[in-house]
Chains A and B, each alone.
Chain A
Amino acid sequence: DGGITQSPKYLFRKEGQNVTLSCEQNLNHDAMYWYRQDPGQGLRLIYYSQIVNDFQKGDIAEGYSVSREKKESFPLTVTSAQKNPTAFYLCASILQGGTGELFFGEGSRLTVL
């Protein structure tokens, strides 16, 4: 079955450590997104990529980095520069020119100790 796979589902890290969240999709979708969700808040866009080897900052990109070396993969690195990284991270993808539906992975819950 096609879909988006995020890993790990739960992650704990110490302050000052970088961590990379994986996002892989086999839907042949062009665009991929990373969102952050905090309690009581909507999803906020971190980074997005419309094609391989190209990506743009979203609204809250500071302290994060991404790469898009393959169409299927869009990993997110949460760096030590991110002041408040504890959150629920969601990866999504969309087929450009399609219905406009965003497909989401199951999310990664990051807790900084």
Chain B
Amino acid sequence: RKEVEQDPGPFNVPEGATVAFNCTYSNSASQSFFWYRQDCRKEPKLLMSVYSSGNEDGRFTAQLNRASQYISLLIRDSKLSDSATYLCVVNPRGPSGTYKYIFGTGTRLKVLA
């Protein structure tokens, strides 16, 4: 089993739709969770951190479920500009506080006009 798993998609949705992605992780001791956005042939950029209580940033909502070991990203009112690959990132926080991030393969989203 991969340490971090995502459905690769693509998810093709019409503008204005609500879309949700899930990401599962295998290490129950994982400490930090993030969603990054990556445009084609570009570097990843932080979309949002994921907090235990869940958090929202405009049209984006992230949730963490430690019991089931998954995180989710909900995008409301999808825009054409949301088309990208969304990467799930987990930090197991290893010995001595090592920041060793584990990346999922990403979920491709295409928002259609």
Question: Which residues of chain A have a CB within 8 Å of any CB of chain B?
Answer: 31, 33, 35, 40-45, 48, 50, 58, 88, 90, 94, 96, 99-102, 104-107, 109
* Chain B interface residue count, Cβ-Cβ cutoff 8 angstroms: 24
Contact partners of B92 in chain A: CB under 8 A: none
B46's nearest neighbour on chain A, judged by CB, is A101
Known contacts A40-B8, A40-B105, A42-B104: does B42 contact A106 (CB below 8 Å)? Answer: yes
11 A-B pairs within 8 Å (CB atoms) are namely A42-B105, A43-B44, A45-B100, A45-B101, A88-B41, A90-B43, A96-B99, A100-B34, A104-B43, A104-B44, A106-B43
Contact partners of B87 in chain A: CB under 8 A: 42-43
Task: State which residues 53-87 of B face A: CB under 8 Å.
Answer: 87
Whether B45 contacts A96 by the Cβ 8 Å rule is no
B45's nearest neighbour on chain A, judged by CB, is A104
Residue in contact with B99 in the complex, picked from A44, A88, A100, A109, CB distance below 8 Å: A100
